[in-house]
Structure 1
Amino acid sequence: MPESGDTPAGESLTTRIPRTRTEWEARLERLVRENRFTISVFFPLNGIVLLLASAEGVLPDPLAFNGLLILLGTLVMRSPLVVGVLPITDRRAAAGVGALTLYAYGIEYLGVHTGVPYGEFFYGVDLGPIVAGVPLGLPVFFIPLVMNAYLLCLLLLGERVARTGVRLLAVIAVVLAMDVVLDPGAVALGFWVYPNGGAFYGVPLSNYAGWVLSATLAVVALDWGYDRRALRNRLDDCEFLLDDLVSFVILWGGINAWFANWIPVACASLFGFGLLKTDRFDAPPARLSWGRADRGESATEREQ
Protein backbone atom coordinates (compact mmCIF):
# COMPACT_ATOMS: atom_id res chain seq x y z
CA MET A 1 0.00 0.00 0.00
CA PRO A 2 1.56 3.35 -1.01
CA GLU A 3 2.46 5.90 1.61
CA SER A 4 0.38 9.06 1.72
CA GLY A 5 3.29 11.01 0.34
CA ASP A 6 3.33 8.74 -2.74
CA THR A 7 -0.29 9.47 -3.62
CA PRO A 8 -0.59 11.61 -6.77
CA ALA A 9 -1.77 15.13 -6.08
CA GLY A 10 -4.81 14.74 -8.32
CA GLU A 11 -5.99 11.55 -6.66
CA SER A 12 -6.84 13.14 -3.29
CA LEU A 13 -8.72 15.87 -5.14
CA THR A 14 -10.67 13.25 -7.08
CA THR A 15 -11.69 11.45 -3.91
CA ARG A 16 -13.15 14.71 -2.60
CA ILE A 17 -15.36 15.20 -5.65
CA PRO A 18 -18.82 13.57 -5.25
CA ARG A 19 -19.49 10.94 -7.89
CA THR A 20 -23.14 10.07 -7.34
CA ARG A 21 -26.32 12.05 -6.91
CA THR A 22 -26.54 10.98 -3.26
CA GLU A 23 -22.99 12.19 -2.59
CA TRP A 24 -23.72 15.50 -4.30
CA GLU A 25 -26.88 15.94 -2.24
CA ALA A 26 -24.99 15.25 1.00
CA ARG A 27 -22.21 17.68 0.01
CA LEU A 28 -24.67 20.43 -0.88
CA GLU A 29 -26.66 19.92 2.32
CA ARG A 30 -23.49 20.22 4.37
CA LEU A 31 -22.52 23.38 2.50
CA VAL A 32 -25.90 25.02 3.14
CA ARG A 33 -26.00 23.91 6.77
CA GLU A 34 -22.55 25.28 7.52
CA ASN A 35 -23.42 28.65 5.95
CA ARG A 36 -27.02 29.16 7.05
CA PHE A 37 -26.45 32.53 8.69
CA THR A 38 -24.52 33.86 5.70
CA ILE A 39 -27.14 32.67 3.22
CA SER A 40 -30.31 33.55 5.11
CA VAL A 41 -29.30 36.63 7.11
CA PHE A 42 -26.17 38.24 5.69
CA PHE A 43 -27.24 38.05 2.04
CA PRO A 44 -30.68 39.65 2.53
CA LEU A 45 -29.21 42.33 4.82
CA ASN A 46 -26.57 43.04 2.20
CA GLY A 47 -29.34 43.06 -0.42
CA ILE A 48 -31.26 45.69 1.55
CA VAL A 49 -28.21 47.98 1.62
CA LEU A 50 -27.35 47.56 -2.07
CA LEU A 51 -30.91 47.89 -3.33
CA LEU A 52 -31.74 50.93 -1.21
CA ALA A 53 -28.42 52.55 -2.13
CA SER A 54 -29.31 51.94 -5.77
CA ALA A 55 -32.82 53.37 -5.38
CA GLU A 56 -31.54 56.45 -3.56
CA GLY A 57 -28.85 57.12 -6.16
CA VAL A 58 -25.97 56.50 -3.76
CA LEU A 59 -24.53 53.45 -5.54
CA PRO A 60 -22.79 54.33 -8.82
CA ASP A 61 -22.99 52.45 -12.10
CA PRO A 62 -22.42 49.64 -12.89
CA LEU A 63 -23.22 48.43 -9.36
CA ALA A 64 -26.56 50.22 -9.07
CA PHE A 65 -29.37 47.73 -9.79
CA ASN A 66 -26.90 45.39 -11.43
CA GLY A 67 -29.06 42.60 -12.87
CA LEU A 68 -26.42 39.90 -12.58
CA LEU A 69 -25.74 40.78 -8.93
CA ILE A 70 -29.48 40.71 -8.20
CA LEU A 71 -29.80 37.31 -9.87
CA LEU A 72 -26.73 35.93 -8.09
CA GLY A 73 -27.91 37.11 -4.68
CA THR A 74 -31.35 35.63 -5.31
CA LEU A 75 -29.83 32.29 -6.33
CA VAL A 76 -27.80 32.16 -3.12
CA MET A 77 -30.86 32.89 -0.97
CA ARG A 78 -32.86 30.27 -2.88
CA SER A 79 -30.20 27.59 -2.34
CA PRO A 80 -31.62 26.16 0.93
CA LEU A 81 -34.95 25.50 -0.76
CA VAL A 82 -33.38 23.98 -3.88
CA VAL A 83 -30.94 21.80 -1.92
CA GLY A 84 -33.66 20.87 0.57
CA VAL A 85 -36.10 19.46 -1.99
CA LEU A 86 -33.46 17.92 -4.24
CA PRO A 87 -33.43 14.48 -2.54
CA ILE A 88 -37.17 14.01 -3.12
CA THR A 89 -37.24 15.51 -6.61
CA ASP A 90 -37.63 12.60 -9.00
CA ARG A 91 -38.52 12.78 -12.70
CA ARG A 92 -42.20 13.36 -12.02
CA ALA A 93 -41.45 16.20 -9.59
CA ALA A 94 -38.98 17.72 -12.05
CA ALA A 95 -41.68 17.59 -14.72
CA GLY A 96 -44.07 19.42 -12.39
CA VAL A 97 -41.49 22.14 -11.71
CA GLY A 98 -40.77 22.28 -15.44
CA ALA A 99 -44.46 22.84 -16.15
CA LEU A 100 -44.48 25.68 -13.59
CA THR A 101 -41.42 27.16 -15.30
CA LEU A 102 -43.14 27.16 -18.68
CA TYR A 103 -46.24 28.68 -17.08
CA ALA A 104 -44.13 31.40 -15.45
CA TYR A 105 -42.60 32.41 -18.78
CA GLY A 106 -45.94 32.22 -20.57
CA ILE A 107 -47.98 34.21 -18.05
CA GLU A 108 -45.23 36.83 -17.72
CA TYR A 109 -45.00 37.23 -21.50
CA LEU A 110 -48.76 37.67 -21.60
CA GLY A 111 -48.63 40.15 -18.73
CA VAL A 112 -45.82 42.24 -20.19
CA HIS A 113 -47.43 42.48 -23.63
CA THR A 114 -51.14 42.64 -22.76
CA GLY A 115 -51.46 43.54 -19.07
CA VAL A 116 -53.38 40.31 -18.39
CA PRO A 117 -53.76 39.02 -15.68
CA TYR A 118 -51.66 41.17 -13.33
CA GLY A 119 -52.40 44.58 -14.81
CA GLU A 120 -50.37 46.72 -17.21
CA PHE A 121 -46.75 46.98 -16.08
CA PHE A 122 -43.16 47.16 -17.27
CA TYR A 123 -39.78 46.45 -15.71
CA GLY A 124 -38.06 49.53 -14.38
CA VAL A 125 -34.61 48.06 -13.57
CA ASP A 126 -32.26 45.46 -14.95
CA LEU A 127 -33.16 41.99 -13.65
CA GLY A 128 -30.68 40.11 -15.79
CA PRO A 129 -30.86 38.86 -19.38
CA ILE A 130 -34.21 39.53 -21.12
CA VAL A 131 -35.84 37.34 -23.78
CA ALA A 132 -38.99 38.64 -25.54
CA GLY A 133 -39.47 41.17 -22.74
CA VAL A 134 -39.30 38.55 -19.97
CA PRO A 135 -36.32 38.14 -17.59
CA LEU A 136 -34.57 34.85 -18.28
CA GLY A 137 -34.18 34.28 -14.54
CA LEU A 138 -37.93 34.64 -13.89
CA PRO A 139 -38.38 31.08 -12.50
CA VAL A 140 -35.80 31.90 -9.82
CA PHE A 141 -38.12 34.66 -8.60
CA PHE A 142 -41.49 32.96 -9.16
CA ILE A 143 -41.27 29.25 -8.35
CA PRO A 144 -39.65 29.55 -4.88
CA LEU A 145 -42.36 32.01 -3.85
CA VAL A 146 -45.21 29.59 -4.56
CA MET A 147 -43.23 26.59 -3.32
CA ASN A 148 -42.43 28.28 0.00
CA ALA A 149 -46.15 28.96 0.42
CA TYR A 150 -46.97 25.34 -0.38
CA LEU A 151 -44.38 23.99 2.08
CA LEU A 152 -45.45 26.37 4.84
CA CYS A 153 -49.04 25.17 4.48
CA LEU A 154 -47.93 21.54 4.64
CA LEU A 155 -46.07 22.36 7.84
CA LEU A 156 -48.90 24.23 9.53
CA LEU A 157 -52.08 22.46 8.42
CA GLY A 158 -51.34 19.01 9.84
CA GLU A 159 -53.88 16.37 8.84
CA ARG A 160 -56.11 19.01 7.23
CA VAL A 161 -53.59 19.32 4.40
CA ALA A 162 -54.97 16.08 2.92
CA ARG A 163 -58.16 17.94 1.94
CA THR A 164 -57.66 19.47 -1.50
CA GLY A 165 -59.98 22.41 -0.90
CA VAL A 166 -58.33 23.34 2.38
CA ARG A 167 -54.85 22.99 0.89
CA LEU A 168 -55.72 25.07 -2.16
CA LEU A 169 -57.34 27.92 -0.20
CA ALA A 170 -54.50 27.97 2.31
CA VAL A 171 -51.78 28.15 -0.35
CA ILE A 172 -53.66 30.89 -2.24
CA ALA A 173 -53.97 32.90 0.99
CA VAL A 174 -50.26 32.50 1.80
CA VAL A 175 -49.17 33.39 -1.75
CA LEU A 176 -51.34 36.51 -1.65
CA ALA A 177 -49.88 37.43 1.74
CA MET A 178 -46.35 37.00 0.36
CA ASP A 179 -47.20 39.23 -2.58
CA VAL A 180 -48.65 41.82 -0.19
CA VAL A 181 -45.06 41.99 1.11
CA LEU A 182 -43.23 41.63 -2.21
CA ASP A 183 -45.01 43.88 -4.69
CA PRO A 184 -45.15 47.16 -2.72
CA GLY A 185 -41.43 46.85 -1.96
CA ALA A 186 -40.59 46.00 -5.55
CA VAL A 187 -42.67 48.92 -6.85
CA ALA A 188 -41.03 51.29 -4.37
CA LEU A 189 -37.62 50.18 -5.64
CA GLY A 190 -38.74 50.52 -9.25
CA PHE A 191 -38.27 46.82 -10.07
CA TRP A 192 -41.52 46.99 -11.99
CA VAL A 193 -43.85 49.87 -12.66
CA TYR A 194 -47.63 50.00 -12.96
CA PRO A 195 -48.10 53.11 -15.13
CA ASN A 196 -51.73 53.52 -14.09
CA GLY A 197 -50.89 53.17 -10.41
CA GLY A 198 -52.82 51.03 -7.97
CA ALA A 199 -54.91 51.16 -4.82
CA PHE A 200 -52.40 49.29 -2.65
CA TYR A 201 -49.07 51.13 -2.42
CA GLY A 202 -49.16 51.67 -6.17
CA VAL A 203 -50.09 48.05 -6.91
CA PRO A 204 -53.42 47.43 -8.72
CA LEU A 205 -55.82 44.90 -7.22
CA SER A 206 -55.79 43.03 -10.56
CA ASN A 207 -52.26 41.93 -9.64
CA TYR A 208 -53.62 39.95 -6.70
CA ALA A 209 -56.35 38.43 -8.84
CA GLY A 210 -53.60 37.22 -11.16
CA TRP A 211 -51.79 35.64 -8.24
CA VAL A 212 -54.92 33.66 -7.34
CA LEU A 213 -54.62 32.02 -10.76
CA SER A 214 -50.88 31.43 -10.39
CA ALA A 215 -51.23 29.97 -6.89
CA THR A 216 -54.00 27.63 -8.04
CA LEU A 217 -51.90 26.26 -10.89
CA ALA A 218 -48.90 25.96 -8.58
CA VAL A 219 -50.90 23.74 -6.20
CA VAL A 220 -52.01 21.56 -9.12
CA ALA A 221 -48.45 21.20 -10.43
CA LEU A 222 -46.85 20.54 -7.02
CA ASP A 223 -49.63 18.12 -6.00
CA TRP A 224 -49.07 16.18 -9.21
CA GLY A 225 -45.28 16.23 -9.08
CA TYR A 226 -44.44 15.63 -5.42
CA ASP A 227 -45.49 13.09 -2.84
CA ARG A 228 -46.94 15.25 -0.04
CA ARG A 229 -45.94 12.73 2.61
CA ALA A 230 -42.35 12.85 1.37
CA LEU A 231 -42.42 16.67 1.44
CA ARG A 232 -43.84 16.68 4.97
CA ASN A 233 -41.20 14.21 6.14
CA ARG A 234 -38.52 16.32 4.50
CA LEU A 235 -39.77 19.36 6.38
CA ASP A 236 -39.25 17.42 9.61
CA ASP A 237 -35.81 16.15 8.61
CA CYS A 238 -34.33 19.25 6.94
CA GLU A 239 -34.04 22.16 9.32
CA PHE A 240 -33.09 24.67 6.60
CA LEU A 241 -35.84 23.87 4.08
CA LEU A 242 -37.72 27.12 4.77
CA ASP A 243 -34.64 29.33 5.18
CA ASP A 244 -35.49 31.00 1.88
CA LEU A 245 -38.61 32.30 3.58
CA VAL A 246 -36.39 33.72 6.33
CA SER A 247 -34.46 35.62 3.66
CA PHE A 248 -37.74 36.82 2.15
CA VAL A 249 -38.95 38.21 5.49
CA ILE A 250 -35.68 40.02 6.19
CA LEU A 251 -35.16 41.44 2.70
CA TRP A 252 -38.65 42.62 1.83
CA GLY A 253 -39.61 43.46 5.40
CA GLY A 254 -36.58 45.74 5.62
CA ILE A 255 -37.17 47.37 2.24
CA ASN A 256 -40.83 48.05 3.00
CA ALA A 257 -39.88 49.53 6.38
CA TRP A 258 -37.52 51.98 4.65
CA PHE A 259 -40.34 53.19 2.43
CA ALA A 260 -42.85 53.25 5.34
CA ASN A 261 -45.05 50.57 3.75
CA TRP A 262 -46.38 49.50 7.12
CA ILE A 263 -49.03 46.99 6.06
CA PRO A 264 -46.44 44.94 4.12
CA VAL A 265 -44.07 45.26 7.09
CA ALA A 266 -46.77 43.91 9.42
CA CYS A 267 -47.45 41.04 7.03
CA ALA A 268 -43.73 40.20 6.82
CA SER A 269 -43.61 40.27 10.63
CA LEU A 270 -46.40 37.69 10.77
CA PHE A 271 -44.37 35.39 8.54
CA GLY A 272 -41.34 35.93 10.75
CA PHE A 273 -43.35 35.21 13.88
CA GLY A 274 -44.69 32.02 12.33
CA LEU A 275 -41.19 30.83 11.43
CA LEU A 276 -40.02 31.48 14.99
CA LYS A 277 -43.01 29.65 16.46
CA THR A 278 -42.29 26.58 14.32
CA ASP A 279 -38.58 26.68 15.28
CA ARG A 280 -37.63 26.71 11.62
CA PHE A 281 -34.54 28.89 11.69
CA ASP A 282 -33.20 27.76 15.04
CA ALA A 283 -33.77 24.04 14.49
CA PRO A 284 -30.68 22.07 15.54
CA PRO A 285 -28.71 20.26 12.83
CA ALA A 286 -29.05 17.05 14.84
CA ARG A 287 -32.61 16.76 13.55
CA LEU A 288 -31.34 15.95 10.07
CA SER A 289 -31.34 12.24 9.23
CA TRP A 290 -27.83 11.90 7.89
CA GLY A 291 -28.11 8.13 8.00
CA ARG A 292 -30.46 7.98 5.04
CA ALA A 293 -28.21 10.06 2.81
CA ASP A 294 -25.17 8.07 3.89
CA ARG A 295 -26.91 4.79 3.07
CA GLY A 296 -27.71 6.11 -0.40
CA GLU A 297 -31.48 5.63 -0.27
CA SER A 298 -33.27 6.85 -3.36
CA ALA A 299 -36.07 9.39 -3.40
CA THR A 300 -38.58 6.58 -4.01
CA GLU A 301 -37.37 4.62 -1.00
CA ARG A 302 -37.68 7.67 1.25
CA GLU A 303 -41.27 8.22 0.15
CA GLN A 304 -42.30 4.70 1.20
Structure 2
Amino acid sequence: MGSLGANGVILITTKKGKSGKLNFSYNAYTSTSRKYVKDIEMLKTAGEWANELQTGDYDLSLTDPGLLEYRLDAYANAPDVVSMEDWLFKSGNSTSHDFSVSGGSENIKAFASLGYLNTDGIVKGQGYERYNGRMNIDATLNDKLKAGLSMNGFYGNQDIVPWEMRDLLRSYSISPIYHTQASIDFVQQLDAKRQALFDSGFTGNNIGQSFDSNYRGDLSQNYDAHSIYDLQPGDVVNDWHYGRNQNGIGGTGDAGVASKFDNSQRYKKNALWECKFLFRIRAYGSLKSENHFWSRFT
Protein backbone atom coordinates (compact mmCIF):
# COMPACT_ATOMS: atom_id res chain seq x y z
CA MET A 1 0.00 0.00 0.00
CA GLY A 2 1.13 3.58 -0.38
CA SER A 3 1.06 6.80 1.59
CA LEU A 4 1.46 10.21 -0.02
CA GLY A 5 4.74 11.78 1.08
CA ALA A 6 6.39 15.15 0.51
CA ASN A 7 8.61 13.76 -2.24
CA GLY A 8 6.35 11.13 -3.72
CA VAL A 9 4.82 7.89 -2.49
CA ILE A 10 6.14 5.79 0.37
CA LEU A 11 5.76 2.08 -0.35
CA ILE A 12 5.13 -0.29 2.55
CA THR A 13 5.57 -4.01 1.90
CA THR A 14 5.21 -7.12 4.02
CA LYS A 15 8.28 -8.91 5.28
CA LYS A 16 10.01 -11.11 2.69
CA GLY A 17 12.73 -13.73 2.64
CA LYS A 18 16.42 -13.17 1.99
CA SER A 19 18.92 -15.32 0.19
CA GLY A 20 21.16 -17.48 2.32
CA LYS A 21 20.74 -20.14 4.96
CA LEU A 22 17.47 -20.63 6.78
CA ASN A 23 16.75 -18.23 9.61
CA PHE A 24 14.30 -19.11 12.37
CA SER A 25 12.67 -16.69 14.75
CA TYR A 26 10.36 -17.21 17.73
CA ASN A 27 8.81 -14.54 19.91
CA ALA A 28 6.43 -14.90 22.83
CA TYR A 29 4.95 -12.58 25.40
CA THR A 30 2.46 -12.72 28.21
CA SER A 31 0.61 -10.02 30.11
CA THR A 32 -1.93 -9.73 32.89
CA SER A 33 -4.74 -7.26 33.51
CA ARG A 34 -7.38 -6.47 36.10
CA LYS A 35 -10.25 -4.06 36.56
CA TYR A 36 -9.11 -0.58 37.45
CA VAL A 37 -11.43 -0.18 40.48
CA LYS A 38 -11.41 -2.68 43.34
CA ASP A 39 -14.27 -3.05 45.82
CA ILE A 40 -16.88 -0.94 44.04
CA GLU A 41 -18.71 1.01 46.74
CA MET A 42 -22.25 0.14 45.67
CA LEU A 43 -21.58 -3.59 45.24
CA LYS A 44 -21.70 -4.52 48.92
CA THR A 45 -22.66 -7.99 50.12
CA ALA A 46 -25.64 -8.66 52.39
CA GLY A 47 -23.49 -8.63 55.54
CA GLU A 48 -21.75 -5.41 54.52
CA TRP A 49 -25.11 -3.72 53.95
CA ALA A 50 -26.32 -4.87 57.39
CA ASN A 51 -23.24 -3.33 58.98
CA GLU A 52 -23.66 -0.16 56.91
CA LEU A 53 -27.27 0.26 58.01
CA GLN A 54 -26.43 -0.27 61.67
CA THR A 55 -23.29 1.88 61.85
CA GLY A 56 -23.82 4.42 59.08
CA ASP A 57 -25.57 7.78 59.17
CA TYR A 58 -29.05 6.45 58.47
CA ASP A 59 -32.21 7.57 60.24
CA LEU A 60 -34.14 4.34 60.83
CA SER A 61 -36.54 5.78 63.39
CA LEU A 62 -39.45 5.84 60.96
CA THR A 63 -39.05 2.16 60.02
CA ASP A 64 -41.29 -0.31 61.83
CA PRO A 65 -39.14 -2.04 64.49
CA GLY A 66 -40.46 -5.48 63.57
CA LEU A 67 -39.65 -4.98 59.88
CA LEU A 68 -36.25 -3.46 60.70
CA GLU A 69 -35.26 -6.42 62.89
CA TYR A 70 -36.53 -8.85 60.23
CA ARG A 71 -34.52 -7.19 57.46
CA LEU A 72 -31.29 -6.59 59.39
CA ASP A 73 -31.29 -10.14 60.72
CA ALA A 74 -31.75 -11.47 57.18
CA TYR A 75 -28.97 -9.31 55.72
CA ALA A 76 -26.57 -10.14 58.53
CA ASN A 77 -27.16 -13.90 58.56
CA ALA A 78 -27.62 -14.82 54.88
CA PRO A 79 -25.29 -17.83 54.40
CA ASP A 80 -22.76 -18.64 51.67
CA VAL A 81 -23.02 -15.17 50.14
CA VAL A 82 -20.93 -14.62 46.99
CA SER A 83 -19.90 -11.09 46.08
CA MET A 84 -21.21 -10.29 42.61
CA GLU A 85 -18.11 -8.19 42.01
CA ASP A 86 -15.79 -11.08 42.87
CA TRP A 87 -17.81 -13.54 40.76
CA LEU A 88 -17.98 -11.36 37.64
CA PHE A 89 -14.47 -9.91 37.64
CA LYS A 90 -11.17 -11.73 37.67
CA SER A 91 -7.60 -11.27 36.59
CA GLY A 92 -7.20 -11.41 32.83
CA ASN A 93 -4.20 -12.61 30.87
CA SER A 94 -2.95 -12.64 27.32
CA THR A 95 -0.34 -14.83 25.64
CA SER A 96 1.08 -14.55 22.15
CA HIS A 97 3.40 -16.80 20.12
CA ASP A 98 4.98 -15.93 16.75
CA PHE A 99 7.22 -18.25 14.73
CA SER A 100 8.83 -17.40 11.38
CA VAL A 101 11.32 -18.90 8.96
CA SER A 102 13.07 -17.25 6.01
CA GLY A 103 15.78 -18.08 3.53
CA GLY A 104 16.42 -19.07 -0.03
CA SER A 105 18.86 -18.89 -2.89
CA GLU A 106 19.87 -16.13 -5.25
CA ASN A 107 16.85 -16.85 -7.43
CA ILE A 108 14.23 -17.98 -4.92
CA LYS A 109 13.52 -16.33 -1.56
CA ALA A 110 10.81 -17.31 0.90
CA PHE A 111 9.37 -16.15 4.19
CA ALA A 112 6.65 -17.82 6.29
CA SER A 113 5.21 -17.10 9.72
CA LEU A 114 2.58 -18.46 12.09
CA GLY A 115 1.03 -16.64 15.03
CA TYR A 116 -1.27 -17.47 17.93
CA LEU A 117 -2.98 -15.13 20.40
CA ASN A 118 -5.12 -16.10 23.39
CA THR A 119 -6.69 -13.47 25.63
CA ASP A 120 -8.76 -14.25 28.71
CA GLY A 121 -10.68 -11.10 29.69
CA ILE A 122 -11.22 -9.62 33.13
CA VAL A 123 -14.97 -10.36 32.99
CA LYS A 124 -16.44 -13.84 33.25
CA GLY A 125 -17.29 -15.18 29.77
CA GLN A 126 -14.97 -12.76 27.95
CA GLY A 127 -12.10 -13.90 25.75
CA TYR A 128 -10.48 -13.87 22.32
CA GLU A 129 -8.44 -16.45 20.39
CA ARG A 130 -6.74 -15.89 17.02
CA TYR A 131 -4.60 -17.90 14.61
CA ASN A 132 -2.77 -16.17 11.76
CA GLY A 133 -0.34 -17.14 9.03
CA ARG A 134 1.61 -15.52 6.22
CA MET A 135 3.85 -16.72 3.37
CA ASN A 136 5.76 -14.80 0.70
CA ILE A 137 7.77 -16.38 -2.14
CA ASP A 138 9.79 -14.38 -4.68
CA ALA A 139 11.35 -16.11 -7.68
CA THR A 140 13.63 -14.73 -10.38
CA LEU A 141 12.95 -16.95 -13.38
CA ASN A 142 15.37 -15.18 -15.73
CA ASP A 143 16.74 -11.68 -16.28
CA LYS A 144 13.39 -10.52 -17.68
CA LEU A 145 10.78 -12.36 -15.63
CA LYS A 146 10.06 -12.38 -11.91
CA ALA A 147 7.16 -14.06 -10.13
CA GLY A 148 5.86 -14.03 -6.59
CA LEU A 149 3.28 -15.63 -4.35
CA SER A 150 1.77 -13.92 -1.32
CA MET A 151 -0.66 -15.61 1.07
CA ASN A 152 -2.00 -14.49 4.43
CA GLY A 153 -4.99 -15.19 6.60
CA PHE A 154 -6.36 -15.43 10.10
CA TYR A 155 -9.16 -17.00 12.10
CA GLY A 156 -10.55 -15.36 15.23
CA ASN A 157 -13.05 -16.45 17.86
CA GLN A 158 -14.36 -13.87 20.34
CA ASP A 159 -16.37 -14.81 23.43
CA ILE A 160 -18.66 -11.99 24.54
CA VAL A 161 -20.26 -11.54 27.97
CA PRO A 162 -23.72 -13.08 27.39
CA TRP A 163 -25.69 -10.39 29.20
CA GLU A 164 -25.69 -6.62 29.62
CA MET A 165 -23.13 -5.68 32.27
CA ARG A 166 -25.41 -3.08 33.84
CA ASP A 167 -28.01 -5.76 34.56
CA LEU A 168 -25.42 -8.14 35.97
CA LEU A 169 -23.95 -5.47 38.25
CA ARG A 170 -27.40 -4.59 39.56
CA SER A 171 -27.79 -8.10 40.95
CA TYR A 172 -27.79 -8.24 44.74
CA SER A 173 -24.92 -9.93 46.57
CA ILE A 174 -27.22 -11.59 49.11
CA SER A 175 -26.82 -15.25 48.18
CA PRO A 176 -24.60 -17.92 46.66
CA ILE A 177 -24.68 -18.30 42.88
CA TYR A 178 -26.02 -21.85 43.18
CA HIS A 179 -28.04 -22.96 46.19
CA THR A 180 -26.46 -24.80 49.09
CA GLN A 181 -28.42 -26.66 51.74
CA ALA A 182 -27.74 -23.75 54.10
CA SER A 183 -29.16 -21.17 51.66
CA ILE A 184 -32.26 -23.32 51.03
CA ASP A 185 -32.90 -23.61 54.77
CA PHE A 186 -32.38 -19.86 55.10
CA VAL A 187 -34.94 -18.76 52.48
CA GLN A 188 -37.53 -21.16 53.88
CA GLN A 189 -36.94 -19.82 57.40
CA LEU A 190 -37.06 -16.25 56.05
CA ASP A 191 -40.44 -16.96 54.48
CA ALA A 192 -41.68 -18.34 57.82
CA LYS A 193 -40.47 -15.17 59.59
CA ARG A 194 -42.28 -13.09 56.96
CA GLN A 195 -45.50 -14.97 57.74
CA ALA A 196 -44.96 -14.46 61.48
CA LEU A 197 -44.47 -10.73 60.92
CA PHE A 198 -47.71 -10.62 58.96
CA ASP A 199 -49.52 -12.58 61.68
CA SER A 200 -48.29 -10.06 64.26
CA GLY A 201 -50.35 -7.38 62.55
CA PHE A 202 -47.76 -5.73 60.28
CA THR A 203 -49.28 -5.18 56.82
CA GLY A 204 -46.74 -3.01 54.99
CA ASN A 205 -44.20 -3.97 52.32
CA ASN A 206 -46.39 -6.75 50.86
CA ILE A 207 -45.51 -8.91 53.88
CA GLY A 208 -48.62 -10.99 53.32
CA GLN A 209 -47.35 -12.18 49.93
CA SER A 210 -45.45 -15.48 49.91
CA PHE A 211 -42.01 -15.33 48.31
CA ASP A 212 -43.03 -17.67 45.50
CA SER A 213 -46.78 -17.14 45.26
CA ASN A 214 -46.51 -15.68 41.76
CA TYR A 215 -44.33 -18.55 40.54
CA ARG A 216 -45.74 -21.67 42.15
CA GLY A 217 -46.96 -23.93 39.33
CA ASP A 218 -46.12 -21.39 36.61
CA LEU A 219 -44.44 -23.81 34.23
CA SER A 220 -43.92 -21.12 31.60
CA GLN A 221 -40.92 -19.92 33.62
CA ASN A 222 -37.73 -21.91 33.08
CA TYR A 223 -36.73 -22.31 36.74
CA ASP A 224 -35.10 -25.27 38.45
CA ALA A 225 -37.90 -25.08 41.02
CA HIS A 226 -41.15 -23.12 41.06
CA SER A 227 -41.30 -22.94 44.84
CA ILE A 228 -38.65 -22.26 47.45
CA TYR A 229 -39.88 -25.44 49.14
CA ASP A 230 -38.88 -27.52 46.09
CA LEU A 231 -35.30 -26.22 45.88
CA GLN A 232 -32.36 -28.64 45.78
CA PRO A 233 -28.64 -27.96 46.39
CA GLY A 234 -27.05 -26.92 43.09
CA ASP A 235 -30.18 -25.18 41.78
CA VAL A 236 -29.64 -21.73 40.30
CA VAL A 237 -30.37 -18.96 42.81
CA ASN A 238 -33.03 -16.50 41.64
CA ASP A 239 -33.65 -13.16 43.30
CA TRP A 240 -37.28 -13.99 44.14
CA HIS A 241 -36.14 -16.87 46.38
CA TYR A 242 -35.19 -14.17 48.91
CA GLY A 243 -38.44 -12.23 48.68
CA ARG A 244 -40.28 -10.02 46.22
CA ASN A 245 -41.73 -6.52 46.23
CA GLN A 246 -39.78 -5.63 49.40
CA ASN A 247 -41.30 -8.39 51.55
CA GLY A 248 -37.85 -9.93 52.10
CA ILE A 249 -34.32 -8.94 51.09
CA GLY A 250 -34.79 -9.89 47.44
CA GLY A 251 -35.49 -7.28 44.80
CA THR A 252 -37.59 -7.37 41.66
CA GLY A 253 -37.90 -11.10 41.18
CA ASP A 254 -35.13 -11.05 38.59
CA ALA A 255 -33.56 -14.30 37.42
CA GLY A 256 -30.18 -15.04 38.99
CA VAL A 257 -26.90 -14.33 37.21
CA ALA A 258 -26.12 -18.04 36.84
CA SER A 259 -29.31 -18.57 34.84
CA LYS A 260 -28.29 -15.72 32.53
CA PHE A 261 -24.87 -17.24 31.94
CA ASP A 262 -26.06 -20.85 31.75
CA ASN A 263 -28.82 -20.12 29.23
CA SER A 264 -27.11 -17.52 27.03
CA GLN A 265 -24.11 -17.49 24.75
CA ARG A 266 -22.67 -14.67 22.66
CA TYR A 267 -19.67 -14.97 20.38
CA LYS A 268 -18.24 -13.63 17.15
CA LYS A 269 -16.15 -15.57 14.64
CA ASN A 270 -14.26 -14.00 11.75
CA ALA A 271 -11.78 -15.23 9.20
CA LEU A 272 -9.79 -13.89 6.24
CA TRP A 273 -7.78 -15.64 3.54
CA GLU A 274 -5.93 -13.89 0.71
CA CYS A 275 -3.74 -15.32 -2.03
CA LYS A 276 -1.98 -13.20 -4.67
CA PHE A 277 0.20 -14.14 -7.64
CA LEU A 278 2.61 -11.46 -8.84
CA PHE A 279 4.49 -11.25 -12.14
CA ARG A 280 7.03 -8.68 -13.28
CA ILE A 281 8.30 -8.57 -16.87
CA ARG A 282 11.23 -6.40 -17.88
CA ALA A 283 11.54 -5.46 -21.58
CA TYR A 284 14.08 -3.33 -23.42
CA GLY A 285 13.62 -1.13 -26.46
CA SER A 286 14.53 2.17 -28.11
CA LEU A 287 12.83 4.99 -29.95
CA LYS A 288 14.11 7.55 -32.40
CA SER A 289 12.48 10.96 -32.24
CA GLU A 290 12.01 13.44 -35.09
CA ASN A 291 15.15 15.33 -34.05
CA HIS A 292 17.13 12.09 -34.56
CA PHE A 293 17.87 11.52 -30.86
CA TRP A 294 17.68 7.95 -29.55
CA SER A 295 16.08 7.14 -26.21
CA ARG A 296 15.98 3.85 -24.35
CA PHE A 297 13.23 2.45 -22.15
CA THR A 298 12.92 -0.64 -20.03
TM-score range (shorter-chain normalised) is under 0.3
More strand by share: 2
Instruction: Normalising by structure 1, report the TM-score.
Output: 0.24
Instruction: Normalising by structure 2, report the TM-score.
Output: 0.24
Larger Rg: 2
More helix by share: 1
